Structure 1
Amino acid sequence: MLGRTLREVSAGLKQGQITPTELCQKCLSMIKKTKFLNAYITVTEEEALKQAEESEKRYAKGQPLGDLDGIPVAIKDNFSTSAIETTCGSNMLKGYVPPYNATVVQKLFDQGALLMGKTNLDEFAMGSGSTDGVFGPVKNPWSYSKQYREKRKQKPHGENEDSDWLITGGSSGGSAAAVSAFTCFAALGSDTGGSTRNPAAQCGLVGVKPSYGLVSRHGLIPLVNSMDVPGILTRCVDDAAVVLGVLAGHDPKDSTTIQDPVKPFLLPSLTDVSKLCIGIPKEYLVPELSSEVQSLWTKAADLFESRGAKVIEVSLPHTSYSIVCYHVLCTSEVASNMARFDGLEYGHRCDIDVSTEAMYAATRREGFNDVVRGRILSGNFFLLKENYETYFIKAQKVRRLIANDFVNVFNSGVDVLLTPTTLSEAVPYLEFIKEDNRTRSAQDDIFTQAVNMAGLPAISVPMALSNQGLPIGLQFIGRAFCDQQLLTVAKWFEKQVQFPVIQLQGLMDDCSAIFENEKLASVSL
């Protein structure tokens, strides 16, 4: 049952093949077996079982609330959850228990979803590997596939071979690991520059970044208000569409959400793509792109063309400026948002009481890691009176040019853009940490962050396994608020490529044997 799609499990619940409590217990068992992945910060076992009991009563009456009733889900730990600790992976918020639910969390509860727990992340979602939170790094479940381990045996290891596991991507790596390890059927992430799509690609999942304003940000502890979007991680496109249909819509608590009512995201089975025009941005063919990802990108374009779609090369001329532009705008908003954590208003407070200034400094030194402090310092520099026009205002102008590039391409007749999601497959942790956080983020978000600056919808869909047996995903980008069309195209592509996501099922079923006395054992898929 854990390997089925969300809709299949929902049907199974309605037919009495399994009860919500039994399903919940299976997922809780998987969480315990895969604890070594460090996907969860908080496991909400008591809450989940209570919700399952209520769901069971509704099914007994033949009155389920919808397709999510009784379905286990996980929530990234930067979404507010009433009476459940919300830390953002930081010492600054350890012990913080919100008095309310984020709108997206409440919408899931209103549909009967079961909360399995709060997932791990980079501190305050600042990172691309899920390696920089105070609760430790998240491990990619694909690290333990037989094919990958056999390939790694052929290469020299460091002193500790057990540390040679793969990153999940970030910052929503905990949510990605939770879904790919079959501990839940869907998880919420947040996406500011690729933080949902990046781990989706590296964990063999579907990762959706909705149009800005389609889904409420109320209760999502902000990183960059003008770019943050709640993201969705699932094992197939249809499942993502179900969740998006529940989450989308106007929220009076978020003035940036759309006013018009949103219809359910029912995806038709697209059979004819001959009327589609697929754009291939030439600027995304960068030297750092791995040969395997480039080859799959080409094969995907050829697939569309062979089925009658029009595939053309397009230009997004300001792409080369997007990373620098994103850095200026991101750190500027980070500096503004993090100012509230001062020891007086919100968050951790140190014991120093020599002076207010000393208390501020010590509180923020103890509460934030080097990554967060570095971004705050950069942002405050860009926002200085003497620098404001030179950096922040110019970056806003460049952001408009980047957004206009997408508008011009879509106005030329292109329906969907096809790009890589990441430069390569997931990399080993020991290799990943050789670079600093800022450099890693700039490299890993190269194909994703421009979408956030333009407010467009995007989805990462797994296509194939690399030579090392690791997943590689490709990204589809759509017109603003044409999320349903985008997901329909992604569903067609998913059906054509038949990515073997179920391969992880065998691995996770036997994962209790993976570690014996904290040492890696032989695992086969």
Structure 2
Amino acid sequence: MNRRLPVKLRELSECFRTKSLDPFSVVEQCFALAEQRKDLNAFVRLSTSQARHQAKQSAQRYRDGKPLGALDGAPIAMKDNFCTKNVHTTCGSRMLENFVPTYSATVYERLECQGALLVGKTNMDQFGMGSGTVDSIFGPTKNCWSENLQKDEFRIAGGSSGGSAVAVASGICFAALGSDTGGSTRNPASYCGVVGFKSTYGLISRHGLIPLVNSMDVPGIITKNVDDCIVVFNAIAGPDDRDSTTIKVPFNAINVPKLDRISLKGLKVGIPIEYHCEGLSDEVLKAWTDVADMLEEAGAIVETVSLPYTSASIFVYSILNQCEISSNMARYDGIQYGHRSDEDSSTEQLYARSRAEGFNSVVKNRILAGNYFLLRNNYDKYFLKALKVRRLIANDFDQVFRKVDVLLTPTTLSAAPRYKDFTRSNNRDQCAVQDFCTQPANMGGIPALSVPIRLSEEQLPISLQLMGPNFSEQRLFEVAKWIEANVQFDKYC
């Protein structure tokens, strides 16, 4: 008989220590639940044999009294753009449908070294280009909070890490990794009622993460609660010689804060006026106002601040995103790796046909737009100007963090929309709306965290976002844990 699993990773680890649970039985429960909830389409591939083998090894370590830590025996999932040795990694695209890496991403290697069990690879928008997880060759992922999963009435999971968010929210695994280029971890975490986190750029290695936008990509973490997010972050952060963009100084592990020792007295919280934007729902606005009031009542100093270049941020993000995509996608030629067409009349035709068959319309459009922006006649007008405005956006954050310690904003402008409503607009327009509050953090390289607050009138999660200056992860986690404890979102789960 299956028993209810613990809520937190440390509680799960303690159950393994006391032998009230064992890793093998837990991972079997996860696979059983994955089978029951396959209608959500969170996974593109389950790693049953690998996870069972890992579970047996974990169980032996507990019997020997030598567990590797709080992650030993914990079921986790990986977004399908992280390379996993001898396990298909597709990026949700036909181009990589049959790609099996010969090595693993650094983040997965570190999780595996901590004893984590790989349940499977999760669904995503093709190559991470989207904010709904609706553009995968495996079909859309459905939000587990949906009132109706039939036809096109279901709620979107958010994207592009929607599969990872649904895997955690539905209880199939305890934690999952996503990638965050413009909010692709925080956006689905918000819609699915879980914690979504991106660190300071360079604190977590990108080695083995198939790139979308190198200057903005950050491996992201999705968990049920803040404490678990800290455990995973401590396991995967730190320098990596295989990634030249990682920060070279040693990583100091984050302390899991005790709630009774968290004081908000004197904490300066900024409320950016630019985030009170067109399309912001009344329910999200009320949650934002109520939490700001809660923080103020607890002794925090809450004040309005301004980030003037936020209004330009989404346009700058779109230009730079597409320019880097056009460069990164050039490697998929059908010869070295990736989908290869049967076309054999010429090398040029082989390239063209392979890419036409392997990429969907979203990827093709971004490649074309990126190449247009990078044309000699357009380079200064678009690409260089976008880089200059990106610097101004980063400067906005630098200036505001001289006045406040953290920023409190919405994560998304509303609760999760229905699939039929979401797909009425094209991918570019949807990303402009869905990523409005999240992508500026990627432009500035600063850490950001989404925490669930309450349910809407339609019983859908509403979340808020915390942002801080570079390397302020400890403070962000403390404030997020305080909010988590006081809003008690877990009572809805």
> TM-score, normalised to structure 1's length?
0.92
**Amino acid corresponding to residue 84 of structure 1 in structure 2:** V
Name 2:288's counterpart in structure 1: 297
Name 1:479's counterpart in structure 2: 469
Q: Residue 266 of structure 1: which of 255, 262, 267 is its match?
A: 255
Cα deviation code 1:184-214 (max 9, x no counterpart):
0000000000000000000000000111000
Q: Residue 253 of structure 1: which of 221, 242, 261 is its match?
A: 242
Closer/same/farther in 2, CA of residues 503 and 310 from structure 1, 3 Å limit? closer
Question: Are 1:92 and 1:367, in contact at CA under 8 Å, matched by a contact in 2?
Answer: yes
* SS class of match (1:143): coil
1:178 correspondence with 2:178: no
Name 2:181's counterpart in structure 1: 192
CA distance in 1, matches of 2:152, 2:5: 28
Name 1:102's counterpart in structure 2: 105
Name 1:319's counterpart in structure 2: 310
CA shift, 1:271, in A, is 3.4
CA shift, 1:357, in A, is 1.5
CA shift, 1:503, in A, is 4.1
CA distance in 2, matches of 1:347, 1:485: 43
CA distance in 1, matches of 2:253, 2:393: 31
Name 1:4's counterpart in structure 2: 7
Question: Are 1:3 and 1:182, in contact at CA under 8 Å, matched by a contact in 2?
Answer: no
1:287 correspondence with 2:278: yes
Q: How does 1:71-90 map to 2 (within 5 A)?
A: 71-90=74-93
* SS class of match (2:145): helix
Q: Report % sequence identity.
A: 54
Name 1:226's counterpart in structure 2: 215
Q: How does 1:106-185 map to 2 (within 5 A)?
A: 106-144=109-147, 162-185=151-174
CA distance in 1, matches of 2:6, 2:158: 23
Cα deviation code 1:443-495 (max 9, x no counterpart):
00000001001000000000000011110000000110111111111111111
Q: CA RMSD in A?
A: 1.1
Q: Residue 480 of structure 2: which of 490, 500, 516 is its match?
A: 490
Question: Are 2:130 and 2:427, in contact at CA under 8 Å, matched by a contact in 1?
Answer: yes
CA distance in 2, matches of 1:302, 1:440: 31
Q: Which stretches of structure 1, 4 residues or more, deviate above 4 A after TM superposition?
A: none
Cα deviation code 1:109-131 (max 9, x no counterpart):
00000000000000000000000
> TM-score, normalised to structure 2's length?
0.98
* SS class of match (2:303): strand
CA distance in 2, matches of 1:217, 1:189: 12
**Amino acid corresponding to residue 470 of structure 2 in structure 1:** A
Question: Are 1:2 and 1:182, in contact at CA under 8 Å, matched by a contact in 2?
Answer: no
Structure 2 runs not aligned, ≥5 long: none
1:330 correspondence with 2:330: no
Name 1:60's counterpart in structure 2: 63
Q: Residue 344 of structure 1: which of 332, 335, 350 is its match?
A: 335
CA distance in 2, matches of 1:498, 1:63: 35
CA distance in 2, matches of 1:272, 1:93: 49
CA shift, 1:345, in A, is 2.2
Cα deviation code 1:211-242 (max 9, x no counterpart):
10000000000000000000000000000000
**Amino acid corresponding to residue 460 of structure 1 in structure 2:** S
1:439 correspondence with 2:429: yes
* SS class of match (2:119): strand
CA shift, 1:161, in A, is 5.4
1:44 correspondence with 2:47: yes
**Amino acid corresponding to residue 418 of structure 1 in structure 2:** L
Cα deviation code 1:5-31 (max 9, x no counterpart):
111111111111100001110101111
Name 2:231's counterpart in structure 1: 242
Name 2:449's counterpart in structure 1: 459
CA distance in 1, matches of 2:7, 2:264: 27
Question: Are 1:197 and 1:208, in contact at CA under 8 Å, matched by a contact in 2?
Answer: yes
Name 1:29's counterpart in structure 2: 32
Question: Are 2:124 and 2:161, in contact at CA under 8 Å, matched by a contact in 1?
Answer: yes
Structure 1 runs not aligned, ≥5 long: 150-159, 505-525
CA distance in 2, matches of 1:121, 1:259: 31
* SS class of match (2:449): strand
Q: How does 1:379-394 map to 2 (within 5 A)?
A: 379-394=370-385
CA shift, 1:294, in A, is 0.5
Comparing 340-349 with 460-469, greater Cα deviation is found at 340-349
Q: How does 1:360-371 map to 2 (within 5 A)?
A: 360-371=351-362
Name 1:509's counterpart in structure 2: none
**Amino acid corresponding to residue 424 of structure 1 in structure 2:** S
Comparing 328-337 with 255-264, greater Cα deviation is found at 255-264
CA distance in 2, matches of 1:279, 1:14: 43
Cα deviation code 1:244-300 (max 9, x no counterpart):
000110000011111111122222234320120000000100121001001110111
* SS class of match (1:28): helix
Name 1:20's counterpart in structure 2: 23
Q: Residue 422 of structure 1: which of 389, 412, 434 is its match?
A: 412
Question: Are 2:131 and 2:187, in contact at CA under 8 Å, matched by a contact in 1?
Answer: yes
1:213 correspondence with 2:216: no
* SS class of match (1:278): strand
CA distance in 1, matches of 2:384, 2:370: 13
